[in-house]
Structure 1
Amino acid sequence: MIMKKVGIIVGSVRPNRRSMQVANWLKVQLKKSTKVQFDIIDLKEVNLPMMDEPKIPYLGLYVHEKTRKWSELVQSYDGFIFVFPQYN
Protein backbone atom coordinates (compact mmCIF):
# COMPACT_ATOMS: atom_id res chain seq x y z
CA MET A 1 0.00 0.00 0.00
CA ILE A 2 1.31 3.45 -0.95
CA MET A 3 1.45 5.92 1.93
CA LYS A 4 -0.66 9.03 1.42
CA LYS A 5 0.93 12.48 1.85
CA VAL A 6 -0.80 15.38 3.57
CA GLY A 7 0.71 18.85 3.78
CA ILE A 8 0.13 20.99 6.85
CA ILE A 9 0.18 24.51 5.41
CA VAL A 10 1.21 27.29 7.81
CA GLY A 11 -0.78 30.26 6.56
CA SER A 12 0.81 33.12 8.46
CA VAL A 13 4.03 34.88 7.48
CA ARG A 14 4.07 37.39 10.36
CA PRO A 15 7.23 37.71 12.48
CA ASN A 16 5.52 36.83 15.81
CA ARG A 17 3.17 34.19 14.47
CA ARG A 18 1.93 31.27 16.52
CA SER A 19 0.74 29.19 13.55
CA MET A 20 4.06 27.34 13.29
CA GLN A 21 3.78 26.18 16.90
CA VAL A 22 0.26 24.94 16.24
CA ALA A 23 1.38 23.14 13.06
CA ASN A 24 4.27 21.45 14.89
CA TRP A 25 1.94 20.36 17.69
CA LEU A 26 -0.54 19.01 15.15
CA LYS A 27 2.16 17.07 13.31
CA VAL A 28 3.22 15.38 16.57
CA GLN A 29 -0.40 14.40 17.25
CA LEU A 30 -0.83 13.05 13.73
CA LYS A 31 2.40 11.00 13.78
CA LYS A 32 0.38 8.27 15.45
CA SER A 33 -0.92 7.40 12.00
CA THR A 34 1.15 4.90 10.05
CA LYS A 35 -0.87 5.27 6.86
CA VAL A 36 -0.30 8.97 6.19
CA GLN A 37 2.85 11.07 5.98
CA PHE A 38 2.42 14.63 7.29
CA ASP A 39 4.77 17.43 6.21
CA ILE A 40 4.78 21.08 7.25
CA ILE A 41 4.71 23.57 4.37
CA ASP A 42 5.64 27.05 5.60
CA LEU A 43 4.37 29.84 3.34
CA LYS A 44 7.00 32.12 4.85
CA GLU A 45 9.70 29.91 3.30
CA VAL A 46 7.90 29.45 -0.02
CA ASN A 47 8.12 33.17 -0.92
CA LEU A 48 5.26 33.08 -3.41
CA PRO A 49 3.83 36.57 -4.01
CA MET A 50 0.12 36.82 -4.74
CA MET A 51 -0.99 37.81 -8.24
CA ASP A 52 2.54 37.39 -9.58
CA GLU A 53 1.62 35.39 -12.69
CA PRO A 54 0.06 36.99 -15.79
CA LYS A 55 -2.13 34.01 -16.77
CA ILE A 56 -4.95 32.24 -14.93
CA PRO A 57 -3.38 29.62 -12.58
CA TYR A 58 -5.51 26.66 -13.69
CA LEU A 59 -3.82 26.80 -17.12
CA GLY A 60 -0.50 25.85 -15.53
CA LEU A 61 1.39 28.19 -17.86
CA TYR A 62 3.64 29.77 -15.25
CA VAL A 63 6.22 32.42 -16.09
CA HIS A 64 8.17 32.27 -12.83
CA GLU A 65 10.27 29.31 -11.66
CA LYS A 66 9.10 29.77 -8.05
CA THR A 67 5.50 29.30 -9.20
CA ARG A 68 6.40 26.14 -11.11
CA LYS A 69 8.13 24.76 -8.00
CA TRP A 70 5.07 25.59 -5.87
CA SER A 71 2.81 23.85 -8.38
CA GLU A 72 4.99 20.72 -8.35
CA LEU A 73 5.04 20.76 -4.55
CA VAL A 74 1.28 20.95 -4.08
CA GLN A 75 0.67 18.36 -6.80
CA SER A 76 2.82 15.89 -4.86
CA TYR A 77 0.30 15.82 -1.97
CA ASP A 78 -2.96 13.94 -1.58
CA GLY A 79 -4.49 16.51 0.76
CA PHE A 80 -3.88 19.52 2.97
CA ILE A 81 -4.57 20.84 6.44
CA PHE A 82 -4.49 24.63 6.72
CA VAL A 83 -3.32 26.31 9.92
CA PHE A 84 -4.38 29.95 9.83
CA PRO A 85 -4.46 32.49 12.65
CA GLN A 86 -7.63 34.08 13.89
CA TYR A 87 -7.49 37.81 14.51
CA ASN A 88 -9.93 39.61 16.79
Structure 2
Amino acid sequence: MTRIGIIIGSTRPGRVGEPVARWVYEVAKERTDVEFELVDLLDYKLPHLDEIYPPAMDQYQQPHTLEWADKIASFDGFVIVTPEYNHSTSGALKNAIDFLYKEWNNKAVGFVSYGSVGGARAVEHLRLIAGELQLADVRSQVALSLFTDFENFSVFKPNDFQRDALNTTLDQVVAWSRALAPLRGK
Protein backbone atom coordinates (compact mmCIF):
# COMPACT_ATOMS: atom_id res chain seq x y z
CA MET A 1 0.00 0.00 0.00
CA THR A 2 1.19 3.52 -0.74
CA ARG A 3 2.56 5.26 2.36
CA ILE A 4 2.52 9.04 2.78
CA GLY A 5 4.29 10.86 5.61
CA ILE A 6 2.75 14.06 6.94
CA ILE A 7 5.69 16.04 8.28
CA ILE A 8 5.18 18.69 10.95
CA GLY A 9 7.74 21.29 9.87
CA SER A 10 7.95 23.37 13.04
CA THR A 11 9.51 22.66 16.42
CA ARG A 12 8.69 26.02 17.96
CA PRO A 13 7.01 26.06 21.40
CA GLY A 14 3.33 26.91 20.97
CA ARG A 15 3.49 26.04 17.27
CA VAL A 16 0.26 26.02 15.30
CA GLY A 17 1.73 23.48 12.88
CA GLU A 18 0.73 20.55 15.06
CA PRO A 19 -3.05 21.19 14.95
CA VAL A 20 -2.75 21.91 11.22
CA ALA A 21 -0.94 18.59 10.67
CA ARG A 22 -3.50 16.73 12.79
CA TRP A 23 -6.27 18.23 10.61
CA VAL A 24 -4.40 17.04 7.50
CA TYR A 25 -4.07 13.59 9.04
CA GLU A 26 -7.75 13.37 10.05
CA VAL A 27 -8.89 14.31 6.54
CA ALA A 28 -6.31 12.02 4.93
CA LYS A 29 -7.15 8.94 6.96
CA GLU A 30 -10.71 9.02 5.59
CA ARG A 31 -9.12 7.46 2.50
CA THR A 32 -8.81 3.69 2.45
CA ASP A 33 -6.40 3.38 -0.47
CA VAL A 34 -3.38 4.91 1.27
CA GLU A 35 -1.63 4.71 4.61
CA PHE A 36 -0.78 8.05 6.27
CA GLU A 37 1.51 8.70 9.21
CA LEU A 38 2.26 11.86 11.16
CA VAL A 39 5.98 12.59 11.44
CA ASP A 40 6.90 15.15 14.08
CA LEU A 41 10.37 16.69 13.85
CA LEU A 42 10.34 16.97 17.64
CA ASP A 43 10.60 13.16 17.80
CA TYR A 44 13.90 13.20 15.90
CA LYS A 45 16.43 15.12 17.93
CA LEU A 46 18.37 16.35 14.91
CA PRO A 47 21.11 18.80 15.83
CA HIS A 48 22.36 21.29 13.29
CA LEU A 49 23.65 19.13 10.42
CA ASP A 50 26.55 17.19 11.94
CA GLU A 51 27.40 14.56 9.34
CA ILE A 52 30.98 14.49 8.03
CA TYR A 53 30.07 13.47 4.49
CA PRO A 54 27.52 15.13 2.21
CA PRO A 55 24.18 13.26 2.28
CA ALA A 56 24.46 12.34 -1.43
CA MET A 57 27.45 10.12 -0.54
CA ASP A 58 25.10 7.88 1.52
CA GLN A 59 27.62 7.43 4.33
CA TYR A 60 25.59 8.46 7.35
CA GLN A 61 27.48 8.08 10.62
CA GLN A 62 25.24 9.49 13.36
CA PRO A 63 22.54 7.35 15.02
CA HIS A 64 20.01 10.20 14.78
CA THR A 65 20.65 10.44 11.02
CA LEU A 66 20.19 6.71 10.56
CA GLU A 67 16.90 6.79 12.48
CA TRP A 68 15.69 9.77 10.43
CA ALA A 69 16.79 8.09 7.18
CA ASP A 70 14.89 4.90 8.02
CA LYS A 71 11.71 6.87 8.70
CA ILE A 72 11.87 8.94 5.50
CA ALA A 73 12.84 5.90 3.41
CA SER A 74 9.66 4.13 4.58
CA PHE A 75 7.41 6.55 2.66
CA ASP A 76 6.38 6.83 -0.99
CA GLY A 77 5.48 10.50 -0.71
CA PHE A 78 4.99 13.38 1.68
CA VAL A 79 2.76 16.21 2.73
CA ILE A 80 4.90 18.84 4.42
CA VAL A 81 3.17 21.20 6.82
CA THR A 82 5.30 24.33 6.95
CA PRO A 83 5.17 27.67 8.65
CA GLU A 84 6.50 30.77 6.98
CA TYR A 85 9.29 32.40 8.96
CA ASN A 86 10.95 35.46 7.44
CA HIS A 87 9.73 34.71 3.90
CA SER A 88 10.93 31.08 4.05
CA THR A 89 10.38 27.78 5.79
CA SER A 90 11.54 26.95 9.31
CA GLY A 91 15.21 26.32 10.02
CA ALA A 92 14.28 23.04 11.73
CA LEU A 93 12.55 21.73 8.60
CA LYS A 94 15.35 22.85 6.29
CA ASN A 95 17.89 21.17 8.57
CA ALA A 96 15.87 17.92 8.66
CA ILE A 97 15.61 17.92 4.87
CA ASP A 98 19.34 18.58 4.47
CA PHE A 99 20.33 15.54 6.56
CA LEU A 100 19.28 13.15 3.77
CA TYR A 101 19.40 12.71 0.03
CA LYS A 102 18.46 9.37 -1.55
CA GLU A 103 15.61 8.84 0.92
CA TRP A 104 13.79 11.78 -0.71
CA ASN A 105 14.45 10.77 -4.34
CA ASN A 106 11.65 9.87 -6.76
CA LYS A 107 8.83 10.58 -4.36
CA ALA A 108 6.01 13.10 -4.48
CA VAL A 109 5.54 16.00 -2.12
CA GLY A 110 2.66 18.37 -1.48
CA PHE A 111 2.56 21.36 0.83
CA VAL A 112 0.25 22.73 3.47
CA SER A 113 1.52 26.11 4.59
CA TYR A 114 0.47 28.80 7.02
CA GLY A 115 1.44 32.38 7.67
CA SER A 116 0.37 35.95 7.14
CA VAL A 117 0.18 35.37 3.37
CA GLY A 118 -0.67 31.69 3.66
CA GLY A 119 2.95 30.56 3.81
CA ALA A 120 3.29 30.97 0.05
CA ARG A 121 6.91 32.13 0.19
CA ALA A 122 7.92 29.17 2.35
CA VAL A 123 6.48 26.84 -0.28
CA GLU A 124 8.30 28.70 -3.07
CA HIS A 125 11.59 27.93 -1.33
CA LEU A 126 10.63 24.33 -0.61
CA ARG A 127 9.78 23.77 -4.29
CA LEU A 128 13.34 24.79 -5.23
CA ILE A 129 14.75 22.42 -2.63
CA ALA A 130 12.45 19.62 -3.80
CA GLY A 131 13.83 19.84 -7.34
CA GLU A 132 17.39 19.33 -6.11
CA LEU A 133 16.32 16.29 -4.07
CA GLN A 134 14.42 14.71 -6.97
CA LEU A 135 11.14 15.19 -5.13
CA ALA A 136 8.23 15.76 -7.50
CA ASP A 137 6.24 18.64 -6.06
CA VAL A 138 2.57 18.69 -6.94
CA ARG A 139 0.91 21.87 -8.14
CA SER A 140 -1.98 21.98 -5.67
CA GLN A 141 -1.31 23.25 -2.17
CA VAL A 142 -3.15 24.46 0.89
CA ALA A 143 -2.29 28.01 1.95
CA LEU A 144 -3.70 28.85 5.36
CA SER A 145 -3.90 32.48 6.45
CA LEU A 146 -3.22 33.43 10.04
CA PHE A 147 -5.88 36.12 9.54
CA THR A 148 -8.74 33.98 8.23
CA ASP A 149 -7.99 30.35 9.15
CA PHE A 150 -6.99 30.98 12.76
CA GLU A 151 -8.73 32.66 15.65
CA ASN A 152 -6.46 35.17 17.39
CA PHE A 153 -3.62 33.93 15.14
CA SER A 154 -3.33 30.78 17.23
CA VAL A 155 -6.49 28.62 17.28
CA PHE A 156 -6.81 26.70 14.02
CA LYS A 157 -10.25 27.02 12.41
CA PRO A 158 -9.87 26.41 8.68
CA ASN A 159 -12.36 27.81 6.22
CA ASP A 160 -14.55 25.15 4.61
CA PHE A 161 -12.95 25.55 1.17
CA GLN A 162 -9.57 24.53 2.62
CA ARG A 163 -10.78 20.94 2.93
CA ASP A 164 -11.36 20.81 -0.84
CA ALA A 165 -7.88 22.21 -1.45
CA LEU A 166 -6.45 19.59 0.90
CA ASN A 167 -8.26 16.73 -0.84
CA THR A 168 -6.98 17.93 -4.22
CA THR A 169 -3.44 18.08 -2.84
CA LEU A 170 -3.78 14.59 -1.34
CA ASP A 171 -5.14 13.22 -4.63
CA GLN A 172 -2.14 14.62 -6.50
CA VAL A 173 0.43 13.41 -3.95
CA VAL A 174 -1.03 9.89 -4.00
CA ALA A 175 -1.24 9.76 -7.81
CA TRP A 176 2.32 11.03 -8.29
CA SER A 177 3.67 8.74 -5.56
CA ARG A 178 2.21 5.77 -7.37
CA ALA A 179 3.41 6.98 -10.76
CA LEU A 180 6.97 7.34 -9.44
CA ALA A 181 7.03 3.84 -7.92
CA PRO A 182 8.92 2.27 -10.86
CA LEU A 183 11.71 4.80 -10.39
CA ARG A 184 11.99 3.75 -6.75
CA GLY A 185 12.17 0.10 -7.79
CA LYS A 186 8.78 -0.80 -6.35
Partner residue of 2:108?
Answer: none
The percentage of aligned residue pairs carrying the same residue is 38
- Aligned pairs for 1:27-42 within 5 A: 27-42=25-40
Q: 1:86 offset after TM fit, Å?
A: 2.5
Partner residue of 1:15?
Answer: 13
| Aligned partner (choices 37, 45, 48) of residue 47 of structure 1 | 45
- Aligned pairs for 1:38-77 within 5 A: 38-77=36-75
Instruction: Compare CA radii of gyration and give the structure with the larger one.
Output: 2
User: Which runs of structure 1 show a deviation greater than 6 angstroms over 4 or more consecutive aligned residues?
Assistant: none
Deviations 1:47-84 (A, max 9, x none): 11232101010221111111011111111100011001
CA–CA separation in structure 2 for the residues paired with 1:73 and 1:60: 15
CA–CA separation in structure 1 for the residues paired with 2:4 and 2:48: 23
Q: 1:41 offset after TM fit, Å?
A: 0.4
CA–CA separation in structure 1 for the residues paired with 2:32 and 2:18: 23
Q: Given residue 41 of structure 2, which amino acid in structure 1 is its aligned partner?
A: L
CA–CA separation in structure 2 for the residues paired with 1:76 and 1:45: 16
Q: Given residue 62 of structure 2, which amino acid in structure 1 is its aligned partner?
A: H
Deviations 1:23-45 (A, max 9, x none): 00111111121111110000011
| Aligned partner (choices 68, 78, 81) of residue 80 of structure 1 | 78
Query: Matched residue pairs, number?
Result: 86
CA–CA separation in structure 1 for the residues paired with 2:49 and 2:2: 30
CA RMSD of aligned residues (A): 1.1
Q: Given residue 66 of structure 1, which amino acid in structure 2 is its aligned partner?
A: H
CA–CA separation in structure 2 for the residues paired with 1:50 and 1:83: 20
